[in-house]
Structure 1
Amino acid sequence: MSEAKQMLFARNLICVCIDDNENADYQGQMWHQYSDDPVPFSGIYEFLVAADDLFDTWDFPQRSLERRGFGHDMTEDHRDKGFPFANYNSSDELVIDKIQKQSGTRNIQGKRGKLGTFIIQVAYRQHATWQGHVINTETNEKSDFISALELVRIIDAALLK
């Protein structure tokens, strides 16, 4: 339990609230500490893309590989695509720290999904996937994952119990 409490105060936490399971895919909302509004998702793929975009906006955790794409010019850096806090300056301050100063932080620990709730900390984005920790708030079980697919499997296994 003490490890779980320590993780609950990381700067890049997201809270995933699963509200429904339609057509074998989960729907719900993703919350983070820097906004009063949730990010709704209508499938696990949509959640993964939204979370990855959020991490790009925060520039934390940083990608170890540049995003690939097909059909359009991907030479532009993601930091130049209109993210509100993505411009770097000469200071050593991280983008996520600037966001925190401007937006403040909110408590996401009280958010609950109808089917399940998971607090996720992605510690690294290496090898074109995520590595980190997840807490199932219903059972207070902490699990580590080494890929986004493993995270999805952990969530799925918890919800099928």
Structure 2
Amino acid sequence: MGVALKNMYFTVMCLPSQDCKFYGEVHSPFLQQSVEFCGLTELILIMDQVMKDYHLPKHDERYRHFQSHHAMIEQKLEYRKEDIQERFEEYLNESMKCSKNSQNTFQIKVMYRQNYTWQGEIIWSEKQRTKFFRSALELMHLIYSVFE
């Protein structure tokens, strides 16, 4: 029997890059492989697209938008084809064990999507520090604060 999926999980690895100030990879149990991002805006848009595609966590309103997809996401997101609930814990552990050349790794759990933003928890893995965030903007500030 699988687990009931209510939250969305991501692991964000920040990697050294000369071309992009904020570069790395985002992992999720729902993705077949990691997705590269260049810039915090692209990271947020990728995470948002995964949550929209899986309807997790449930949101309180329909999205308002001018266009139906994010033009800034250059990669095609490839999702796992099998029923993820059966092996969710295995996929979650696999997505959290990213060990490339990361300078900073963050475990992000989005628990709610309310008022057109996100609420959840972020863990800075290298320092074992946990913070809760009340919006995607606050999440961005928490991540940027590591680099200041």
Please state which band the TM-score falls in when normalised by the shorter chain: 0.7 to 0.9
Letter in 2 for 1:136: W
* Shift of residue 102, structure 1, vs aligned partner: 7.4
Q: Does 1:111 align with 2:90?
A: no
What is aligned with 2:74? none
Aligned residues: 130
Q: 1:22-53 deviations in whole A, cap 9, x for unaligned? A: 67741111001234410111111111111011
Q: 1:26-83 deviations in whole A, cap 9, x for unaligned? A: 11110012344101111111111110111112211022221122267xxxxxxxxxx9
Distance, in Å, in 2 between the alignment partners of 1:103 and 1:132 is: 19
- Higher Cα Rg, which structure: 1
Instruction: Give the TM-score of the pair, scaled to structure 1.
Output: 0.68
Instruction: Give the TM-score of the pair, scaled to structure 2.
Output: 0.74
What is aligned with 2:23? 27
Consecutive unaligned residues of structure 1, counting only runs of 5 or more, are 1-9, 73-82, 86-97
Consecutive unaligned residues of structure 2, counting only runs of 5 or more, are 1-5, 69-77
Distance 1:103 1:123, change over 3 A: closer
Distance, in Å, in 2 between the alignment partners of 1:101 and 1:61 is: 18
Distance 1:149 1:24, change over 3 A: farther
SS of 1:105 mapped into structure 2 = helix
Distance, in Å, in 1 between the alignment partners of 2:96 and 2:16 is: 20
What is aligned with 2:72? none
What is aligned with 1:16? 12
Distance 1:71 1:33, change over 3 A: closer
* Shift of residue 158, structure 1, vs aligned partner: 1.7
Percent identity between the two aligned chains: 26
Letter in 1 for 2:125: T
